[in-house]
Chains A and B, each alone.
Chain A
Amino acid sequence: MAEIVQEEGHKGKGKKKAKKHGTHIDMTPMVDLACLLLTFFMLTTAFNKPKVMAIILPEKPKENEKPPELDKSRALNILLVDHDKILWYNGLADPNKILPTLSQTDFTKEGVRKLLLQRNKELYGKISKLNKDVVEGKIKIPRDTLEARIKRMQKDDRFGPIVLIKAADSVKYRNLVDIMDEMVIANVARYTLVDINQVEKMMVKNYFRTAPSVTAH
């Protein structure tokens, strides 16, 4: 609008045109700076955020409450000992009866992972089938429902092992994370952290005394 008014005002007179030449700005310093900053941010950006592993421990029984009974036939005791070794036995170690024999394994995929997967075959099979069906699109359910279903399967599990993880005081934190991770991989429904008791300490000692070839390191 303003332009039109202006044009009318100058009607008839020779309009002086200012010679236009594109102002050239030297962009080099700006580009230098932009490039420098870009490099800085690219190098300092950490793309992978650390991950977390959720741990849910059973609530501590109250003073006047009895701890829940454990089904002995399903109990699988995993003893973490020095030098990344694992010893395990089934059932409960009762000092008044014959003590169960210990077996040794390790943190490799053919070691404790195989043991847990074999023990937890049924539940593991069910969960991985469900996961596979969802990935392949045979079953269409939202993520929350899937998680809830897996949780329910784990809760209803009647055959899988109840794993008692007992770590000796000499182990490293890494071992604890590893064994917890094995539980998640094998979809073990019930596991908990327990202190190693005197009987088990003795069993471990005896094991390494009678099997000296294994202790060589």
Chain B
Amino acid sequence: MGKIKIAVKTPRIDMTPMVDLFFLLLVFFILTATFRPEEAAPIKTPTSTSQTPIPDDHLGTILVSNKDKVFFNVDNGRDSTDHIRAKLLLAMGAEYKIKFTPKEIKKFEGLASFGLPITKVQAFLNAPDAKTREAMQEGIPIDSLNNQLAMWVRLARTYYSDVQFAIKGDGGANYPVVKKVIAVLQANNVNKFNLTTDLKSIELPTDFK
């Protein structure tokens, strides 16, 4: 009697649809991903009921950490060939008599927020790694005698005419520092600016319609 032999085969699964789906999702996530460069300090923003999303570009951000340090950040312009940050650093260098090398300027363009006196920026840009850089961020001077933040804001307004300003403060930052920052903005005729916040919902009092 002939024995029927059942061939033992590993079942083949057609993976094509799965792979298709994977790639579709992958492409979606790659395209929607926005990479945020390292921030100078962790900042936990307070909450508000505002629903307006933060503008994508033309944004100058003044960050206030919970240790009351002030940082500044500005984007490179919608068209990165504008090299706004490079222009800004050069202008700032001219103002404080510091000459930056092309390499340093290039490095500066690639970084995000920074918070240190202009005299130390050179050493900051030549620092070997991110950790050293982070340790150097002592905050931008904002005293009335040496108000470098005001200079940054003024130059940003000069070289980046359609820049909008946003204050991104930590909820625990002390009010007097924020007051000084607002005063700097107002002194530069910036009366309209944004406060960066997280979203929360509106609740009305119980007996109110």
Q: Which of B23-31, B73-81, B102-110, B112-120 contacts A (4 or more CB under 8 A)?
A: B23-31
Query: 7 A-B pairs, CB-CB below 8 angstroms?
Result: A41-B33, A42-B29, A45-B32, A80-B175, A117-B204, A171-B174, A172-B172
Residues on A with beta carbons closer than 8 Å to the beta carbon of B46: 173-174, 177-178
- The answer to whether A173 touches B49, judged by C-beta atoms less than 8 angstroms apart, is no
| Minimal Cβ-Cβ distance residue in B for A24 | B12
| Minimal Cβ-Cβ distance residue in A for B56 | A49
- The answer to whether B205 touches A172, judged by C-beta atoms less than 8 angstroms apart, is no
- The answer to whether B205 touches A113, judged by C-beta atoms less than 8 angstroms apart, is yes
B61-117: which have CB < 8 Å to A?
A: 64
| Any B CB within 8 A of the CB of A199 | no
- The answer to whether A27 touches B19, judged by C-beta atoms less than 8 angstroms apart, is yes
- The answer to whether A185 touches B49, judged by C-beta atoms less than 8 angstroms apart, is yes
The number of inter-chain residue pairs (CB within 8 angstroms) is 154
Q: Which of A4-12, A51-59, A138-146 contacts B (4 or more CB under 8 A)?
A: A51-59
- The answer to whether A60 touches B186, judged by C-beta atoms less than 8 angstroms apart, is yes
Using a CB–CB cutoff of 8 Å, the interface residues on chain A facing chain B are 24, 27-28, 30-31, 34-35, 37-38, 41-42, 44-46, 48-60, 80, 109-110, 113-114, 117, 167-178, 180-181, 184-185, 193
- The answer to whether B48 touches A59, judged by C-beta atoms less than 8 angstroms apart, is no
- The answer to whether B50 touches A34, judged by C-beta atoms less than 8 angstroms apart, is no
B186-209: which have CB < 8 Å to A?
A: 186, 189, 191-199, 202-206, 208
| Minimal Cβ-Cβ distance residue in B for A58 | B191
| Minimal Cβ-Cβ distance residue in B for A35 | B22
Most A Cβ at <10 Å: residue of B49, B52, B197: B197
A172 touches which of B174, B191, B192 (Cβ 8 Å):
B174
- The answer to whether A44 touches B198, judged by C-beta atoms less than 8 angstroms apart, is no
| Any A CB within 8 A of the CB of B137 | no
B52 vs chain A, min Cβ distance (A) = 5
B1-57: which have CB < 8 Å to A?
A: 12, 15-16, 18-19, 22-23, 25-26, 29-30, 32-34, 36, 45-55
